[in-house]
Amino acid sequence: MRMVVAAAIGIARFIYRFIVGDDWTVALVLLLALAATGVLVTHGISAWWLVPLLAIVMTGISLRRSALHDPPRPTSGTN
């Protein structure tokens, strides 16, 4: 039983780290985009484009935020 619980905890941690990763705001926005797409589709509005659009936008925002907060590191072999 202990191994089953440990495996379940390990899987849950993996899924959390894979989906949320370094930027929880991206995961939150995409979750909201999925919900909004579902609502729009149930009302007869074609909203297939919403999730890919927000994924591209949020990737750009996340990369920009990361670049502004993390200065470039020197590469090995340079003086």
| The model's pTM | 0.68
Tens digits of residue pLDDT in 16-74: 888 777 788 998 999 999 999 999 999 999 999 999 999 999 999 988 988 888 766 77
Domain-by-domain residue ranges, the chain?
23-69
pLDDT at 4: 93
DSSP string, the chain: -HHHHHHHHHHHHHHHHHHHTT-HHHHHHHHHHHHHHHHHHHTT---TTHHHHHHHHHHHHHHHHHHHHSPPPPPTT--
Predicted local confidence at residue 73, as pLDDT: 72
Q: What is the pLDDT, as a whole number, of residue 77?
A: 62
The distance between the two most distant Cα atoms of the chain, rounded to a whole number of Å, is 61
